[in-house]
Structure 1
Amino acid sequence: MPGSSLWLVPPPSHPLHEVLSQLIESTLPALFAHAESRSVPFSPHLTLTSNIDPAKYGSDPQAWLDSIPFPTASDIDVKFERVKTENVFFRRCYIKCEWDGAHEVAAIARARGVTGEETVQQTTLKWLAEWKEAFGPHVSLMYGDMPIDEAKLDEIEQAVKDAGITLEPTHDHVGAADGWVGGTVWLVPTDRPIPDWKPIATRTLQ
């Protein structure tokens, strides 16, 4: 993946951090134990934007990250909807998230990181509409080339529920969907191999 990315990560103390990590690192790969391709582990996150030119943050990535006027933590409310799959390596399987609680933080990340706008203006708004139409905010569960048919997707969704995650209420369960409020933003050089995707700057939203 070219350039760097801004990720929204669940607060370290949030139970979802451990639950998602377990799903990504062991539970879901085990469902593909006999496949030619298996998912590569990564930290749980919601990608706010990618394709950030490293020249944007230069030699002081922390100062650049601290300068972005993110919404307050209480205005960021990530809510899970359903498990989906696409025939795309980095969207092989993911949890789609509600639009309202995540798009504003993604918009300012895109504006400052990619489109060069100080605030969210026309170029970012155009991207935002395209992003929403394409796939929108989501939390990845698996990367890879493994085929996922409807039966396998049902199996993955059941594993997610068995891990204790409540998705958007449907006919088979009730209650509020899981997710998190606020979180920590990571700046990650995603032009490196996936095992090297580590933050070079972090910021806990207040």
Structure 2
Amino acid sequence: MAPKYSLWLSPPGASPASQAVAAAIDKLSSALGGPRFPPHATLFSPVRADSDAKALEQVEHYAAKLRRQLGADAAGIPVEVDSVAAGSTYYQCVFLKGPASEALAAANAAAREQWGAAGQEPFMPHVSLVYGDHPADALPGLQTQAAEALPKDLAALSYVATEIRIVATSGQCEQWHEVGRVSITRQGEVSK
């Protein structure tokens, strides 16, 4: 099967949201022995492609349609967070969750259409804090640890993503790597 790529919406690098979430991920991964990863909300996964270049090409095509859909004056895609939650899967163990903005829901729907994934699980926007397989009875304590590692005003961790990061996510988390970024707000801008 072709390698797997994921589309991430990350907070701007020097923003308070990026710094606070990255610090919480580092603190929690050190305490729990779990993997470290950059702050992000997964917009869509999986994108399958035979090479990084082909994955970038697919995402550039998707981003061009998305820019038309969002409109010329779109500032980006809002990612809102308002609570700390726990889930039952490895990649949704402990996370920040919030409502899907109209632009975020539309971007995910467009990605599902682009990659023929209409039957996927319902989209649940979130920003992961902990990856892991922890017993259900440990999750409330992990949620509390996560909440204590973050600012009290969780809404302040909301952000507007202006680019899509294309991340090769085949294999273990430690093997993942970014292969490029595509602007959501300006046509034709790609960085690798």
Secondary structure class of the residue paired with 1:74 = coil
Which of these residues, 123, 137, 141, is aligned with residue 125 of structure 2?
Answer: 137
The correspondence of residues 194-205 of structure 1 with structure 2, limited to 5 A, is 194-205=173-184
Which of these residues, 60, 64, 67, is aligned with residue 58 of structure 2?
Answer: 64
2:47 aligned with 1:52, yes or no? yes
Rounded to whole Å, the distance in 2 between the matches of 1:66 and 1:13 is 25
- How far has the Cα of 1:177 moved from its partner? 4.7
- How far has the Cα of 1:75 moved from its partner? 5.5
CA spacing shift, 1:152–1:93, aligned 2, 3 Å: closer
2:151 corresponds in structure 1 to 161
Secondary structure class of the residue paired with 2:164 = strand
- How far has the Cα of 1:97 moved from its partner? 2.2
2:31 aligned with 1:43, yes or no? no
1:179 corresponds in structure 2 to 158
- How far has the Cα of 1:58 moved from its partner? 6.9
CA spacing shift, 1:31–1:60, aligned 2, 3 Å: closer
2:141 corresponds in structure 1 to 151
> Where is the strand percentage greater, Structure 1 or Structure 2?
2
2:29 corresponds in structure 1 to 29
2:13 corresponds in structure 1 to 12
2:61 aligned with 1:95, yes or no? no
Q: Where does the alignment leave 5 or more consecutive residues of structure 2 unmatched? A: 186-192
Report if aligned partners of 1:46, 1:140 keep a CA contact under 8 Å in 2. yes
Poorly superposed stretches of 4+, deviation over 4 Å: none
Question: Comparing 60-69 with 89-98, which one deviates more in the overlay?
Answer: 60-69
Report if aligned partners of 1:6, 1:109 keep a CA contact under 8 Å in 2. no
- How far has the Cα of 1:100 moved from its partner? 2.4
Secondary structure class of the residue paired with 1:201 = strand
Q: Where does the alignment leave 5 or more consecutive residues of structure 1 unmatched? A: 33-37, 116-122, 168-175
Report if aligned partners of 2:28, 2:146 keep a CA contact under 8 Å in 1. yes
- How far has the Cα of 1:30 moved from its partner? 4.2
1:170 corresponds in structure 2 to none
Report if aligned partners of 1:48, 1:110 keep a CA contact under 8 Å in 2. no
* Overall identity of the aligned pairs, in %: 24
The alignment's TM-score, normalised by the length of structure 2, stands at 0.77
Residue deviations 1:125-158 (CA, integer Å, cap 9, x gap): x64xx414xxx01000010123433234223212
Rounded to whole Å, the distance in 2 between the matches of 1:46 and 1:58 is 21
- 1:76 counterpart letter in structure 2: I
Rounded to whole Å, the distance in 2 between the matches of 1:160 and 1:187 is 27
Report if aligned partners of 1:8, 1:48 keep a CA contact under 8 Å in 2. yes
Report if aligned partners of 1:47, 1:137 keep a CA contact under 8 Å in 2. yes
